[in-house]
Structure 1
Amino acid sequence: MPANCVASANPAASTDTTAWEAELILGFSQRGAKTALVNRSHRGPLTVQRPFYPEGGVCHVYLLHPPGGVVAGDHLTISAMVENDAQALITTPAAGKFYRSGGGEAQQSVNLKVAENASLEWLPQETIVYEGARLNSSMNIDLAERAHFIGWEILALGRPAAGEGFENGAATLNWRISHTGRLVYLERLRLDAEAFQARWGLFGHSACGTLFVYPASSSQLAAVQELIGEEANRGVTLIEGLLICRGLDLRADLLKGFFERVWGLVRGDVVGKAVCAPRIWAT
């Protein structure tokens, strides 16, 4: 997920001497045959590229954070509003990074609002939480009666390829999803060194993630269940029209690949279009 930071020659050992705040506000509106990015305001080193239209009317936007990561004390806020009938897809060009903390906490808040007959796809690349990092992340989703939403969050604890586990640090993840002003889903998940190793937690799996789809049906639930089959560390459920899919893996890219397959199963019904992967994912 996108983030801003103080650059450091050795980011994994960044100190908490300077903190940055960044805020980005996006607004999408239907203009003729396509969705336009009509509001784009920011404070601090957080912005977006110009919109892309690889599939016609859907507005694809890439969040940019030039410094490359977050250190303790930083606070990032992203807000996006998709107006009636508009269709937007938001992603990132690279993994977000939260660097080791000297004791303080980095905060990230994402607020998404989807109006009537509008769709929003929130598909950031994975967030890497370095060993010793402390992250507090909140996702607030506000859906209108006939809104459409697909979103995921993929977390990678430590850097297994570099021989780094997650012996200390913590990530607190908060999800709040409302439909027509009524709370339909609330979750608070805290991952620390104990949860990383415990059988009741991640059991040593460095990557974990959750994917949400609204509105979803029992047929879509069955399709995802068939996709999962006997594969371990995958699960899906349906609660009041909200599809919730979870996964654990030893590699974040494998978990993202699984979520992309689920996205391929549900997007036609939810957004009305076949999958069109953002070009930035292939670079």
Structure 2
Amino acid sequence: MPANCAAAAHPTVSTDTAAWEAELTLGFSQRGDKTALVKRQHRGPLTVQRPFYPEGEVCHVYLLHPPGGVVAGDRLTINASAEPSAHALITTPAAGKFYRSGGGKAQQTVNLTVADNASLEWLPQETIVYQGARLNSSMNIDLAERGRFIGWELLALGRPAAGEGFENGSANLNWRISRAGRLLYLERLRLDAAAFQARWGLFGHSACGTLFAYPATALQLAAVQALIGEEPNRGVTLIEGLLICRGLDRRADLLKGFFERVWGLVRGDVVGKEVCAPRIWAT
């Protein structure tokens, strides 16, 4: 759901006393002519719906967090692995929500492992970080030498539709991507009230995001550059075969639409499939 639609609901203030700790482990393996979800273990309020196959052999799964939001003290851990030749796409049925905190932090850790000749796509809907929330997010991507990956992270800070910015709170975002055991990319980003307002930061934009695709070439870089054209607050670069695309916007749904177009441009070359949007995105 777009951040501006969710903004009508007032977020719950966390008392930091009823924290959830949840962990989900998924394993994907090629079975015959399709990828199967062969491992599904969960602890706490974190699970998935049954697999869907809207494009034949590719396994689509939707992550579910029944409490509907994350408060201070909650710790969510998601582990997913794609075995050789498997192809899985992971998304969410709605925006994630991190509510304002009384002082503690909420932690989300995602560990993805992609074997040779496997493809894994991590395409969750946006994460809404309410004013006063304190989020630590870590993404760890471990690619085999011939592993393929497309993933994005979309954040909506505050409640722009309600005139609320991000005058307090913080979001610490960490990405670590390795290939064949060697560190390929490391990023640590801290967003707080100063970064939200500053020209060197978000400059008041409530939505920000990053898309990664590997392996990519100068052809995909040129295609995304052409898509961006003269549009402001968009950028793309290529580092050792890793395509990195960034964007800022006033609305998270507009930024997600841009990332969907980038995904449509690069997916065929990166994972060998034409774009097939998960059905849940249309609901």
**Does the pair score TM above 0.5?**
yes
Quick one: which amino acid aligns to residue 124 of structure 1?
P
Quick one: which amino acid aligns to residue 144 of structure 2?
A
Secondary structure of the residue aligned to 1:13 is coil
Report the RMSD for the aligned CA atoms in angstroms. 1.1
Aligned match of 1:116: 116
- What is the total number of aligned residue pairs between the two structures? 276
Quick one: which amino acid aligns to residue 165 of structure 1?
G
CA deviation after TM superposition for structure 1 residue 178, in Å: 0.1
**Identity, % of aligned pairs?**
86
Aligned match of 1:18: 18
User: CA separation in 1, counterparts of 2:221 and 2:271?
Assistant: 16
**Offset from partner CA, 1:197-242 (integer Å, 9 cap, x none):** 0000000000000000000000100000000000000000000000
Aligned match of 2:3: none
Quick one: which amino acid aligns to residue 199 of structure 2?
R
Aligned match of 2:279: 279
2:49 paired with 1:27: no
CA contact (8 A) 1:215 1:242 kept: yes
Aligned match of 1:51: 51
Gaps spanning 5+ residues in structure 2: where? 1-8
CA contact (8 A) 1:119 1:149 kept: yes
Aligned match of 2:172: 172
Quick one: which amino acid aligns to residue 244 of structure 1?
I
CA deviation after TM superposition for structure 1 residue 10, in Å: 6.1
Aligned match of 1:184: 184
Secondary structure of the residue aligned to 2:40 is strand
Gaps spanning 5+ residues in structure 1: where? 1-8
Secondary structure of the residue aligned to 1:12 is coil
TM, length-normalised to structure 1 = 0.96
User: CA separation in 2, counterparts of 1:253 and 1:272?
Assistant: 26
Aligned match of 2:5: none
Quick one: which amino acid aligns to residue 77 of structure 1?
T
Aligned match of 1:197: 197
CA deviation after TM superposition for structure 1 residue 56, in Å: 0.3
Runs of 4 or more consecutive aligned structure 1 residues displaced over 2 Å after TM superposition: 9-12
User: CA separation in 1, counterparts of 2:41 and 2:119?
Assistant: 21
Aligned match of 1:96: 96
Query: Following superposition of structure 1 onto structure 2, how do residues 228-267 of structure 1 map, counting pairs within 5 Å?
Result: 228-267=228-267
CA contact (8 A) 2:11 2:130 kept: no
User: CA separation in 2, counterparts of 1:167 and 1:12?
Assistant: 17
CA contact (8 A) 1:14 1:99 kept: yes
Quick one: which amino acid aligns to residue 205 of structure 1?
H
User: CA separation in 1, counterparts of 2:17 and 2:215?
Assistant: 45
Secondary structure of the residue aligned to 2:52 is coil
Secondary structure of the residue aligned to 1:225 is helix
TM, length-normalised to structure 2 = 0.96
Secondary structure of the residue aligned to 2:100 is coil
CA deviation after TM superposition for structure 1 residue 136, in Å: 0.3
2:143 paired with 1:143: yes
Secondary structure of the residue aligned to 1:224 is helix
User: CA separation in 2, counterparts of 1:197 and 1:150?
Assistant: 30
**Offset from partner CA, 1:218-277 (integer Å, 9 cap, x none):** 010000000000000000000000000000000000000000000000011111111000
User: CA separation in 1, counterparts of 2:154 and 2:102?
Assistant: 24
User: CA separation in 2, counterparts of 1:273 and 1:240?
Assistant: 22
CA contact (8 A) 1:12 1:130 kept: no
Aligned match of 1:78: 78
CA deviation after TM superposition for structure 1 residue 175, in Å: 0.2
Gap change, CA 1:10 and 1:163, over 3 Å in 2? closer
CA deviation after TM superposition for structure 1 residue 45, in Å: 0.6
CA deviation after TM superposition for structure 1 residue 12, in Å: 2.9
Quick one: which amino acid aligns to residue 176 of structure 1?
R
